[in-house]
Every structure is written in structure tokens, then in C-alpha cells.
A and B are shown apart, each in its own frame.
Chain A
């Protein structure tokens, strides 16, 4: 399995995506920092929680889309370019091949959300005293307290990131994979606000959980069916 992961990594030059990952993190940070600074006296963010709620939305949207790019490269492109035909003539369990690919997508989404959250937290910790992004100073305990929820959220988004597999595989299309990821990302993270309070689908815990389950089921089905499907 490790060998398969390594070969997928090598074949698709996954290491090259880390540059993209870093740019995304910098971009997200720059966007929220600019928002915080641009608002002048009337601050957009009152405290750390406020600040992070927007940041987390951006992280989730960006990385579900990013993961769909990896998903289309790892799975959809193989089917589209028919290289999967070659892949399946190797003396390897096909289920394992698919599992390696899906784990890589899942892992990429999960870890990139964790890494991004972690790095942005560090940046905020050091930048806030200098740039005054929000009034209430942030305590390190406050940040530590968000760790469990960050992991849970990252896991849920990683599950959700497999949903585009369904749309992409129908026509073996990269475009529909990424488009569906954009739509899913926006739908579950879009926030409705009346100034004082805001709500997004992601806050209703049932929604991300069921979406995550749906993603995992879609992943499981393609894993389960791989030995039965004809490659024509």
C-alpha cells in the first residue's frame, strides 16, 4: 500500500502541489488580513473566534476545490486518458490501487486544512499585536481549544471532497469534477448574516456529517465496484 501511495505520488508529481498549498495559505491569510485592516475604525472582526470563522470558511472552500483538482488528476484523468487500462494490467489488487488514490485525495484535503489552519493561527498570534486585526487579544489557550474541532472539521471536509468523484466519473470529466467541488464548497459554507448573527449550512452539524458520509459512500462504492466494471 505504501508503495502504491509512493508511486501515485511520484507519477502525479504531488510534491509540486505543495507550492500551490503554500500560495493558498498565503492568499487566504492576505485576504482576511486585508479585510481586517481595510475596515478602518469600525472593525470587521471583534475577536479571534470572529476572525477564524471567516478564515475557516475560506480554508474549507479553497481546499475542497484544491482536492478536487487532485482527485481529477489521480482518478478522473486516468479514466479519461485510458491509462487506467494500463494500471489494471499490473499484478496488483485493483481495489488497493483505487484505495491508494482515494486515500491520497482524502489525506491531502485533511492535512492541507490542518496545516493551513495551524499556519494561519501562528501567523495571527504574531501579527495581531502588531497589526491589530481584532480588538480582543488572543490567548494561546483559546487557540489550543480549537484543535479538536479543527480535526473534526478537516475530517468532514476530507469526506466531502470525495463527492465530486461521483460527478466527475459520470462523464470522465475534469471540468465537472471541479465545478461540482466549487458548488459543494460554496453551498455548505455560504453564510447568511443579518449583522449580529450569521448562519451557514456547515454550522448545522447534521449537514457536514451527512455530506461527509455521502462522500465516503461514493468513495466506497467506486472501491467496491472496481473488480466488476468493464473497461471498454
Chain B
């Protein structure tokens, strides 16, 4: 699949402090790439560098295989974006803002503005001035503005901030629709992990300016998401059995009486049998699903105890 955003060894320092450090990432055509990371991880800075609002200290960014230089601008007609809080010309109405946007981008399709407003549920308020809009409405209008020119890439920095649960659901469905029906590539950042989990194809986990992991959601699900949680009375003994008798290496100790096994090759009954044969009391055993949130927190905290 074609890579539309290619980032290599990208670094950025502000006044000597490195906020983005040697990031490599690849966003494929038609996928939703979820950017996860705590506040200040460098998500916005990377997005700004893609849009050429911030210039990299080193490294390179290629969009559709074209290298971005400090004065590049033509590629921007393929990108729709919301960076941080969506800003508008407050004295103008919603419709005037979108009209102005279309003229600047050089796209004017009849009915596109109305269509975009309808998609985000803002039809009927197009003649309202922006200073009368609530944060949620501005966020929706920001999304309408990003999609009105039908870009090939959407860069959305925390687009669901300030939205109500219905708004969040609407946006989730909209993004899926844009991806599936229009083949739009979407780079989205959020600190709400469950939201990214439900729509992303690939996720990039960023912490302290470093990309800790770039992984397909599919692989996360396959690799780590399913585990066997066993409650036992003697932890040390159980570990000995698991390691020596069954050869299990991928496990996590939750507490003195609980252990999680991430290996799928060995069946539940086999583990069960072996523990019982070695006189370990099993108080409970069940298959569980790890959510992206735990995976994310494990990575961020460096507390990944999977041996």
C-alpha cells in the first residue's frame, strides 16, 4: 500500500529542549492512524511539522513522496486539518468562514459548504456569527472546514475535545465513512484511548517526543490483547512451574495471587493440569481481553512486566 506520510529521523528542539526526537513513522493511504500520547508528548508538534507550521530541526517529511522544505506549500491543498483549538474569524458567520476557506484553498464546489455543515450537524446555524458558537459547535465547524474541500489527507489534532457523547459518536462514524467511502487517509491524535482504539488501523504511541511504538491494531489484538488470568495461592511456585515445565516466558505478575499469561500456544487445560499436578491451588482461571488503554499505559509507564 502506498505511504502518504513518511517521516524519517524527525527531531525538533525549542530553545535547546528537544520536544520531538528521532521519530520515524509511516502513514499508509486510506488508513486511520491514531496518535496516542500524554499531554506534551509532541503530537501537536509533529502535526504542525507535517503542515509546515513548525520547521524541523533535523530529519525529513515526505508527503506523497515529495520532500517538504521550509517553503513548500503546494501539497497543502491535499490536506485538511484542525490543529489544537479550531480558530475562526469571529466577526464572520459560519458560512462566510467556510466560503473564505474554500476561496483560499481554491476549491469552490456548489453545495459543498451546505453538505459539510449538514454532515457535522450544523445546518441551520450557518448565518450565526462565530462568537455566538459554543466550543462543541466550533469543534464541529472545524471538522466541517477540514472536510469541505474534500482533501486526501485529514490531520485532526484532538478533534473530539469539547464534544458531547453524541458528538463523539457522530465524529467517529463520520471518520469511518470518510475512510471507507472516500478513501481519505486520516491522522488523528487523542488522549482518549478508547476512541482511537475503536477506529484506528495503526497506532503510534508517543512519549517524551519519542515514538515508542508504531503498530497495527490488528497485531495488538492478536499479540497481547488476549490473556489468561489465573488466581493462585503460591506465586513463586506457580512461576517455577510455568517457566520450567511449560516454558512460558510471556507473563505479567499482577499481585501476589494473580498472574496473567499472554502466550496462546499452550491451552488453558494444559496450564490448569500442570498447576494442579504441582499442588498449586487455583482460585480462578479465565480468559480476558486487554484493552488498548492498558497496553498504552504499560508502554508509557515503562511498567511492562511481560518477561
Residues of A within 8 A of B (CB): 3, 7, 10-11, 13, 81-83, 85-94, 227-228, 230-232
Give the CA-CA distance A27 to B236 in the complex, in Å.
93
Task: Kindly state whether residue B27 has any CB partner on chain A within 8 Å.
Answer: no
Residues of B within 8 A of A (CB): 14, 48, 51-55, 70-71, 73-77, 79, 81, 83-85, 87-92, 100-101, 103-106
Given A91-B77, A232-B14: A85 and B53 interface contact (C-beta under 8 Å): yes
Give the CA-CA distance A81 to B106 in the complex, in Å.
23
Contacts of A81 in B (CB 8 A): 87, 90
Additional pairs, 9, CB under 8 Å, beyond known A89-B53, A91-B74, A92-B104: A7-B103, A85-B53, A89-B76, A93-B73, A227-B70, A230-B48, A230-B53, A230-B54, A232-B48
Give the CA-CA distance A226 to B105 in the complex, in Å.
19
B104 & A87 in contact (Cβ 8 Å cutoff) = yes
* Cβ distance A134 to chain B, nearest Cβ, rounded Å: 44
B76 & A7 in contact (Cβ 8 Å cutoff) = no
Given A11-B89, A13-B91, A81-B87: A90 and B53 interface contact (C-beta under 8 Å): no
A91 & B53 in contact (Cβ 8 Å cutoff) = no
Contacts of B75 in A (CB 8 A): 91
Contacts of A93 in B (CB 8 A): 71, 73
B87 & A86 in contact (Cβ 8 Å cutoff) = yes
Give the CA-CA distance A87 to B71 in the complex, in Å.
14
Given A13-B91, A228-B55, A231-B48: A90 and B104 interface contact (C-beta under 8 Å): yes
B79 & A89 in contact (Cβ 8 Å cutoff) = yes
Given A7-B100, A230-B54, A230-B55: A91 and B87 interface contact (C-beta under 8 Å): no
Contacts of A232 in B (CB 8 A): 14, 48, 54
A91 & B76 in contact (Cβ 8 Å cutoff) = yes
* Cβ distance B18 to chain A, nearest Cβ, rounded Å: 14
Closest chain A residue, CB of each to CB of B100: A11
Give the CA-CA distance A82 to B86 in the complex, in Å.
9
Of the listed residues B52, B54, B87, B92, the one surrounded by the most CB atoms of chain A closer than 10 A to its CB is B87
Give the CA-CA distance A232 to B100 in the complex, in Å.
23
Give the CA-CA distance A13 to B91 in the complex, in Å.
10
Give the CA-CA distance A154 to B70 in the complex, in Å.
36
Q: Which 3 A-B pairs have the closest CB atoms?
A: A91-B77, A91-B76, A90-B104
* Cβ distance A87 to chain B, nearest Cβ, rounded Å: 7
Give the CA-CA distance A81 to B130 in the complex, in Å.
13
Contacts of A87 in B (CB 8 A): 104
Contacts of A91 in B (CB 8 A): 73-77, 105-106
Q: Which of the residues B14, B76, B89 comes within 8 Å of A83, measured between beta carbons?
A: B89
Q: Which of the residues A82, A90, A228, A230 comes within 8 Å of B105, measured between beta carbons?
A: A90
Contacts of A13 in B (CB 8 A): 91
Give the CA-CA distance A51 to B89 in the complex, in Å.
43
Closest chain A residue, CB of each to CB of B19: A232
* Cβ distance B100 to chain A, nearest Cβ, rounded Å: 6
* Cβ distance A130 to chain B, nearest Cβ, rounded Å: 43
Contacts of B84 in A (CB 8 A): 82, 85
